[in-house]
Amino acid sequence: MNEVSTIAVVDDDGAVRASLTGLLETLGYRVRAYASGQELLADRDLQSLHCLLLDMHMPGLSGTETRNRLDEWGIVLPTVYLTAHGDIPMAVEAMRRGAIDFLQKPYQLTALIEAIRRAVRSCGAQRDSLARRAERAQKLARLSPREKEVLALLAQGLGNKAVANALGIAVKTAEDHRAAVQR
* Better-scored residue on pLDDT, 40 or 133: 40
Q: Is the pLDDT of residue 162 over 50?
A: yes
* Whole-number Å distance between alpha carbons of 41 and 65: 11
- pTM score over 0.85: no
The predicted-structure confidence for 105-153, as pLDDT tens digits, reads as follows 988 999 999 999 999 888 655 665 565 676 777 777 888 888 888 888 8
Q: How far is CA 121 from the centre of its chain?
A: 11
The predicted-structure confidence for 1-31, as pLDDT tens digits, reads as follows 447 899 999 999 999 999 999 999 999 999 9
Per DSSP, the chain holds a count of helices (H) and strands (E) of 8, 5
**What is the amino acid identity at position 112?**
L
Structural domains in the chain, sorted by start: 6-137 (3.40.50.2300), 143-182 (1.10.10.10)
Looking at residue 30, its pLDDT comes to: 96
Parallel, antiparallel, or unpaired for β 30-34 and 51-55?
unpaired
* Better-scored residue on pLDDT, 7 or 154: 7
Percentage of residues in the chain with pLDDT exceeding 70?
Answer: 92
- Going by C-alpha positions, the residue among 131, 155, 132, 128 that lies closest to residue 181 is 155
